[in-house]
Amino acid sequence: MAYIFAMSDIHGCLEALNENLQLIDLNDLQNKLILCGDFIDYGKKSCETIHHVRQLTKQYPDQVIALRGNHEQMFLDFLSCSKKDVWNFEWLSADRDFDTVRSFISDDLFKRISAIAIMSKDAFAAFMKIAELFKQYIQENHCELIQWLKALPYYYEMETQIFVHAGIDEEAEEYWMHGTSPEYFTSKYPATFGTFYKDIIAGHISTSSLKKKRDFHDVFWDGKSHYFLDGSTAETGMLPLLRYDTKTKEYHHNKNGRFQKILVF
């Protein structure tokens, strides 16, 4: 019996990822795991998480597929922007307590960056300086990881499913892969519901907002063709895990370590 597993929006929460991996048997070569992007930001272990995901794709190249999310794209845009680009300031200012930055750099560099942030009277100038120090360190110490990030695909298609971070242009119907822009794959908003000719499994939008219930952080199914996986993990510690049974054609989700059939919410 083969299973297809999917997760999304891990956001630096390595412990939650590892807990779910205990429920996935990748030694069974029939099983697959699709990781739908947003491995970094918000949580405290962005660097460790993304390196771990990369290692999984290397260890199980035919079974583990990692996709590009909008946070990976924003990270790459930050690393490639010019010294004078305001994106240096905007990206860093969104990094709460420099958690993402800190996970990638040495303790000595973090102390230096912290001193610049505290002592500078010009926040914009300080952030621009910090951006250059951070980017230089990344290029010198994580160059293979950056090349891997640049090669991440936007979607993964199977016989009956399309896995993607945010969504696709469903109005293009069977030509969706040609009609969907890169930005749409990673940042589509709002969510689309209803029937499509394949099931669409995505993250990006919190399931609590889709359910309109603050304490809901499970897989959200619209009852038709859409499954959403973003459980706001950095805030809740909950990382939804979707499982598709290729024999019975049924979807299940992890609930307290056990898989239960997904119901319409």
pLDDT tens-place string over residues 57-92: 999 999 999 999 999 999 999 999 999 999 999 999
pLDDT tens-place string over residues 165-184: 999 999 999 999 999 999 99
Task: Provide, rounded to the nearest whole percent, the portion of the chain with pLDDT above 90.
Answer: 94
Residue 249: other Cβ atoms inside 10 A: 9
Tell which of 122, 145, 168 closes a domain.
145
**Number of separate domains in the chain:** 2
Structure tokens at 149: 């990030």
pLDDT at 96 over 90: no
Answer yes or no: do 116 and 243 share one domain. Answer: no
Answer yes or no: do 17 and 32 share one domain. Answer: yes
Identify the pLDDT of residue 256. Answer: 83
Answer yes or no: do 172 and 194 share one domain. Answer: yes
Kindly report the average pLDDT of the chain as a whole number: 96
pLDDT tens-place string over residues 200-254: 999 999 999 999 999 999 999 999 999 999 999 999 999 999 999 999 999 999 9
Answer yes or no: do 54 and 161 share one domain. Answer: yes
Lowest mean pLDDT among 51-55, 121-125, 150-154, 180-184: 121-125
Q: How confident is the model at residue 28 (pLDDT cuts 50, 70, 90)?
A: very high
